[in-house]
Amino acid sequence: MEIKKIFVVDDGESKREDLMSCLKHLFPEAEIRGFVCSGEFYEAVASKEVLDDIMEHPKEWLMVVDMQMPHGRFRQIDRQAGYKLLHKLQQLGLTCPAVIASSDAIDNAPAREAYESYLGSIQYSYYVDSTPYFREVLCLTETALD
């Protein structure tokens, strides 16, 4: 699997930018896009153009999603948002590989149930370089790293 395009879904701008920077080190040639989640997060994830491209070329894409994201009118934090997002993407028929990046430890079993192409999770911290964690998850799946 050769990743050429990545989308990072996170409601926090600094975390989203940090993850995108980390992934750029692993995939210097990849096109990386960040998406903000707000409102009904699973409806605001990506444009139709991106979703169509993922459907046509799933093995070229990697998606990285946050676990806890705001939703609804009052922007309440949903602690299961990552699982719900993956489930929604599965319903849309997406098959590109996915990773959850969260500050909390993740139970991977519900993510695997929600999304068939789920690879694993990394525990994200602003204070620690996430590159080795991504490398570990991606190497287990034989993803080509630069």
The per-residue pLDDT for 126 is 87
The per-residue pLDDT for 117 is 93
The per-residue pLDDT for 73 is 64
Range 84-91 contact pairs with CB under 8 angstroms and sequence separation of 24 or more: 84/41, 84/42, 84/114, 85/9, 85/37, 85/41, 85/42, 85/45, 86/111, 86/114, 86/115, 86/118, 87/114, 87/115, 88/42, 89/42, 89/45, 89/63, 89/115, 90/114, 90/115, 90/116
Return per-residue pLDDT of the chain as tens, 146 residues. Answer: 689 999 898 888 899 999 999 999 999 999 998 887 655 544 545 677 888 888 899 999 999 999 988 876 667 888 888 898 899 889 989 899 999 999 988 999 999 999 999 999 999 998 888 988 898 888 866 665 55
Contact 46, 82 (CB under 8 A): no
Q: How far apart are CA 35 and CA 89, in angstroms?
A: 15
Please list, in sequence order, all residues whose beta carbon lies within 8 angstroms of the beta carbon of residue 15, skipping any fewer than 6 positions away.
Answer: 66, 124, 126
Q: Give the predicted TM-score (pTM) of the model.
A: 0.87
